[in-house]
Amino acid sequence: MEYLILLIVFVIFCETSFLLLHKYRPLSSNRKKIYIDTSALIDGRILNIAKTGFIDGDLIILKSVLRELQLLADGKDSEKRSRARFGLETVSELERVINVNTEIIDDGEERKKVDDELLKFAKANKGAVLTLDYNLIKVAEAEKIETLNINDLALAVRNDFLPGEKVILKITEKGANRGQGVGHLPNGTMVVVGNAANKVGEELIVELNKLHETSSGKIFFARIVKSKEK
């Protein structure tokens, strides 16, 4: 029983310490303000991006955006209701991310259009609008307001090559394991080829079998295509 009480006290202490750290961490007024719209919160990918520390600015969520999510979450459409609730959960999780400052701002009356409010705040504070809404992006561009589209980011970092593709690869060195040869794709991705240790300096047609991704980069594993498959 005593151990259980100690465990509960320890958990409460850790949670309190986390909340205090998040609450009192310094905010920089010089950082770019990034205003998140409803579509980006429903999408949810912003949470994983924030956790990596790549967000160069403060994330701002207007209360009108939260109200819009709440209306959808209380609506009759089951699909929209589910997505809106996921968006509200995304907001809660963003507030707990240490790597980025997330702030909720009261933008006044409920009758104002959400998109208009986002554009107004972004323009007034020389910030950016984070959205997946095509029409909002076009309006923002017309107003000379910077936009950030997660779909564009996903396209920019996607793999140029996929498992199953056959490519011409020059073996430049022996691999770490016996029998392996190593080459690189045009985008710089390392390719480890089985049974290619004796092919250094040669160009081979190889089939990309498996992609291994780590924080240090991407590595493809491949096999030499037999002559009859050329």
Q: 3-state SS string over 133-157?
A: CHHHHHHHHHCCCEEECHHHHHHHH
Distance (Å) of CA 1 to CA 5, 7, 184: 6, 10, 59
Res 218: pLDDT: 84
Res 78: pLDDT: 84
CATH of segment(s) 26-157:
3.40.50.1010
Q: State how far the Cα of 10 lies from the Cα of 123, in Å rounded to an integer.
A: 46
Where does the chain hold its CATH 3.40.50.1010 domain(s)?
Answer: 26-157
Strand-pair partners of 207: 166, 223
For residue 124, give the H/E element and its range: helix 114-124
Q: What is the pLDDT along the chain (230 residues), one digit of tens a residue?
A: 555 555 554 555 555 554 444 443 444 457 899 999 999 999 999 999 999 888 989 999 999 999 999 999 998 888 889 999 999 999 999 999 988 999 999 988 677 789 999 999 999 999 999 999 999 999 999 999 999 999 998 888 777 788 899 999 999 999 989 999 999 998 788 999 999 999 999 999 999 999 988 766 789 999 999 644 44
Rounded to two decimals, what is the model's pTM? 0.67
CA dihedral for 167, 169, 175, 181, sign (positive or negative) = positive
CATH of 166-229, one of 2.20.28, 1.20.1070, 2.70.70, 2.40.50: 2.40.50
Res 38: pLDDT: 96
Res 229: pLDDT: 47
Res 65: pLDDT: 95
Let me know how long the chain is: 230
Find the helix packing angle between 114-124 and 134-142, rounded to 10°.
40
Where does the chain hold its CATH 2.40.50 domain(s)?
Answer: 166-229
Res 21: pLDDT: 44
Which tokens is 151 given? 């779909």
